Chains A and B, each alone.
Chain A
Amino acid sequence: MEIISSAFDFAQIMSSGLALSLLRALVIVVIGYVLARIASLAMQRVFKEAANRHHALLFERGAYYLVVGLFVFAAMVELGFNPGVLLGAAGILTIAIGFASQTSMSNLISGLFLIGEQPFGIGDLIQVGDTIGEVLSIDLLSIKLRKFDNTYVRIPNETLLKAEVSTFTKFPIRRIDLQIGVAYKEDIAKVREVLQETANKNPLCLEEPQPLFIFRGFGDSAIDLQFSVWVRREEYLTLLNNIQMEIKVAFEKYGIEIPFPHRTLYTGSVTEPFPVTLVPDYIKGAE
């Protein structure tokens, strides 16, 4: 008896509009899913060569979710939901989610801007705040860096958007600024010549742009000079080490003094020299 009754119920449901619309809604969702896959594949193909990996991924995902969203919405309408109410509910839900995931959303949107702006790419060497590292990945919420001591650092995109970011590997060549102090007695023209010769001798030091020589001023205990040499960015560290060692050797060879800080004591008025008395140890011991 029960079986007959349930069969009757089923037939009733089948004959009603509900089953039909359920079926229709299901078909719409399936079609939507298939179309979304096709759209995402198409995007993948279009952006394969044109854009970088992140742009491609962004468009791929965007197309997928847009198509799926539209079809799910159509399916809901088919099931008899009022589109106005649906949109209203979606609005309230968005606000609720928005409040709850403020940080994530902020990072997400910052991520989109970062991807659009492209201040650096994967493999670049960047500095954010005090952190210097190689970019491992740029994701929607954060970027990942590898510091030189092999630490894995995650930096939220929001920080990157607000902070000053230096990219060291944007251009093929870099400049090394050396701050050099030489004693006041030195002939600066000669010092300049020695520095230039040292730079010329090192093959890693670029001949053009020419090394830069700046007389920075009269310091406390030395004449402050700046000597800037250009180098291909891969050789930055090698040249930084080599050139300073070579400059030191050259200065020693030509007798150019790199002074230590000096202090001159002066007693205030037109003065006699300080009287200096040597006190032998045995007298001190007697006291």
Chain B
Amino acid sequence: MSEHHNQRPSTWWGQFHLDQGQTCRWEIGPLKLAIHRQANEWQLAYEQTEVTGSEATEWNYNPTAPDISELTYKNTERYITQQPGNTVRVMPILADRSIITRPLTPLYVPAGEKMTIFVSSPLWVRIEVGDLPVKLQEVPILRPSDTWFGPSTMEGELCYASRTYARLNLENIPKRTHRAITQIIIDNKGVTQLLVERLNLPVPYLSLFETSDGLLWTEAVTMTRTRDTGMAGFEVEKRPPIEALDAKLVSKPREKPGQSMVIRAFGALFR
């Protein structure tokens, strides 16, 4: 993790120093975020802008922003803490629920075959301050839509719906610093062919890694379908795939993955 002073840092995340009365501003994709420090007090202001076609706006960091009181962001919050220290840690973190992604068109995986697919997941920003440090807030860079994943309206899991599609080639995944890329290997060991219409990626079990080109990756995962259902064995590799060779760990998973997990991974549309 890099430590930043007042020059433009190489990534939007990391450890920053704020003097008393100073306001720092970030623009991370659609998120506008400002942090202001007072004696024993931190102030946050943030808002997510409307997403248009130019969602591809990268990030910006401005350590000499106007005072936070001049900003008219939708959310403003004040945190009172006795924690000493002028550091603020702004870290990317994956969602607290699974992410549902669709391929651009439904895909069939024949019995006994493997397929590699890439998905990009939305990120949250975790803000921690002080030497201890104390967590202030987690702000979604772009609040994804809620969705339901399960066989019926009575049984299932509440998830987030990804706004982007799962892709077969890494080149087709938009390279954005405010999303994380995951490589998923789907191994169909069932007898019937598998239709991948919606794919459930349990991101709370994944960590984030950064590469030297400023992108974020998660570990590669393998989903093995052994029986002819939507369930699959879920296995988290140690590291991101070979495409992100120089990846360094940025944030740990929210939940510890189990030894042998079985998840509801594939879902057909239901009415």
Contacts and interface: CB of A to CB of B under 8 A. Distances in A.
A and B interact physically: yes
- Sorted nearest first, the 10 A-B pairs with minimum C-beta distance are A207-B161, A207-B147, A203-B143, A208-B147, A203-B145, A207-B145, A171-B154, A206-B146, A206-B148, A206-B147
Interface of A: 171-173, 175, 200, 202-210, 230-232, 235
25 contacts: A171-B154, A175-B153, A200-B145, A203-B143, A203-B145, A204-B146, A205-B145, A205-B146, A206-B145, A206-B146, A206-B147, A207-B100, A207-B145, A208-B100, A208-B148, A208-B149, A208-B198, A208-B269, A208-B270, A209-B148, A209-B153, A209-B271, A210-B269, A230-B153, A232-B158
A151 B146 CA distance: 33
B14 interface: no
If over half of A's interface residues share one DSSP class (helix, strand or loop), that class is named, otherwise mixed; here it is loop
Interface of B: 100, 143-149, 153-154, 156, 158, 161, 198, 269-271
A202 B146 CA distance: 9
Contacts of A173: 148, 153, 158
Contacts of B144: 203
A175 B269 CA distance: 17
A209 B147 CA distance: 7
Among A202, A208, A235, chain B packs the most CB atoms within 10 A around the CB of: A208
A45 B189 CA distance: 45
Among A175, A200, A207, chain B packs the most CB atoms within 10 A around the CB of: A207
B149 A171 contact: no
A205 B154 CA distance: 17
Contacts of A171: 153-154
Contacts of A207: 100, 145-147, 161
A204 B154 CA distance: 18
Contacts of A202: 145
